[in-house]
Amino acid sequence: MSHPSAHPATHTAAVPPIVPRDKLDFGLDGDIPRFWLDNDAFKTRFFDAMSTLFPVGERFFITCVRDYRDRIDDPAMLEDIKNFTRQEGQHSMLHTQYNNRLQAQGVRVDRILAGQEKRLFGIIRKHCSREFTLGMTAAAEHITAIMAECFAERGEIFANADRRIRALYVWHAMEEMEHKAVAYDVMQKIARVGYFTRVRAMLLVGGLFPFHTFRIMRHMLRVDGFSRWQRAKIWAKGLWWLYKPGGLLTPVLGSFLAYLKPGFHPWQQAVVPSYQRWMDALARTGDPVAAGDVLQQASRA
Ligand SMILES: [Fe+2]
Ligand SMILES: [Fe+2]
């Protein structure tokens, strides 16, 4: 199945269908270790902090895309928006379940969510144009898509992770790849957002996203009870893990900057090979946790 709306003639990459998958069970209410990634506080809290940003963030993305629904009559694009909405809705639900675990650990998830609600809906949507908030959505979707490609392809990142949380992030990554062009196409073809608005929106999102992730991590590491000196060491080592050459974020810098090219389109970057591997594993096992394991084992081979 192809998606004409997400597949302009100038882009030759194969575009996968956007498949809403609901009722997936990751066993998130099970006994998951506090530091579920590498038994490392920084790495774990980096992913935990992102999880707290998803429910309100994804609702914001849905709202900003749906602002334009009445102006669209291409059935393929309307179908893409519907499936994008269903996928993001499921992500919010599963990450809320994940975040309830964090709240039980003492993390002030309620306060984080309220702050983000106020910033995104109370301030940004109130004071910025619909074009700009759609630009922010397309920018955030680009960032999530390139991070998704990185997590899916680099098996070493989740090699020593709790298999349930790894599977959740892998599933989320795969769906982010499937719908990565939806907001972008609405922005370009329907809202006709100009280049400078698109870039300004990316500069804002590219600054806000790490700023809030780190701010939330700071709170989480305090809740974990580390002393000031321990936290300084955790941050020094963790920032090196993120930004060293070949670290978690450095290799995606090129993909990030590609967004600033005037002729950029998300499907200039084809879907990564692990996507099909995961799809096959999910079809075969019917279990997203097992599919995450299969992907992990394949990366070791
Ligand atoms: Fe999502
Ligand atoms: Fe998304």
Tens-place pLDDT, residues 41-70: 999 999 999 999 999 999 999 999 999 999
CA distance linking residue 52 with residue 131, whole number of Å: 26
Q: Convert the pLDDT of each residue in 1-42 to its tens digit.
A: 344 444 444 455 679 999 999 889 999 999 999 999 999 999
**Once rounded to an integer, what is the mean pLDDT over residues 278-290?**
95
76 belongs to a structural domain: yes
Inside any domain, residue 261:
yes
Ligand nearest to the CA of 84: 2
Tell me how far the alpha carbon of residue 141 lies from the centroid of ligand 2, in angstroms. 5
What per-residue confidence (pLDDT) applies to 10? Answer: 44
| pLDDT recorded at residue 291 | 95
Residue 17 lies in a domain: no
Containing structural domain, residue 251 = 35-267
Residue type, 147: M
So what's the pLDDT on residue 22? 85
For 206-253, what is each residue's pLDDT tens digit? 999 999 999 999 999 999 999 999 999 999 999 999 999 999 999 999
Q: Could you read off the pLDDT of 154-194 as tens digits, one per residue?
A: 999 999 999 999 999 999 999 999 999 999 999 999 999 99
**Ligand 2 center–CA 176 separation, angstroms:** 5
Question: pTM of the predicted model, to two decimals?
Answer: 0.94
Q: Please tell me the number of the ligand nearest to residue 169's CA.
A: 1
In Å, what is the CA distance from 261 to each residue of 13, 212, 216, 265? Answer: 18, 26, 31, 9
Find the CATH number of the domain harbouring 163: 1.10.620
**276 within a domain of the structure (yes/no):** no
Residue 85 Cα, ligand 2 centroid: separation in angstroms? Answer: 9
Distance linking the first and last C-alpha atoms of the chain: 31
Distance 58 CA to ligand 2 centre (A): 7
Contact assessment for residue 108 and residue 215, using Cβ atoms and an 8 Å cutoff = no
Nearest ligand to the CA atom of 89: 1
Evaluate whether residue 30 is within a structural domain: no
C-alpha 231 – ligand 2 centre gap (Å):
32
27 in a structural domain: no
* Cα of 148 from ligand 2 centre, angstroms: 10
* Mean local confidence (pLDDT), 93-117: 97
The closest ligand to the CA of 144 turns out to be 2
Ion ligand 2: protein residues whose beta carbon lies under 5 Å: 141, 176
Instruction: Evaluate whether residue 244 is within a structural domain.
Output: yes
C-alpha torsion 89→92→97→101, nearest 10? 180
Determine, yes or no, domain membership for 97: yes
CB atoms within 10 A of CB 111: 13
pLDDT at 13: 60
| Ligand with minimal distance to 182 CA | 2
Structural domains of the chain, count:
1
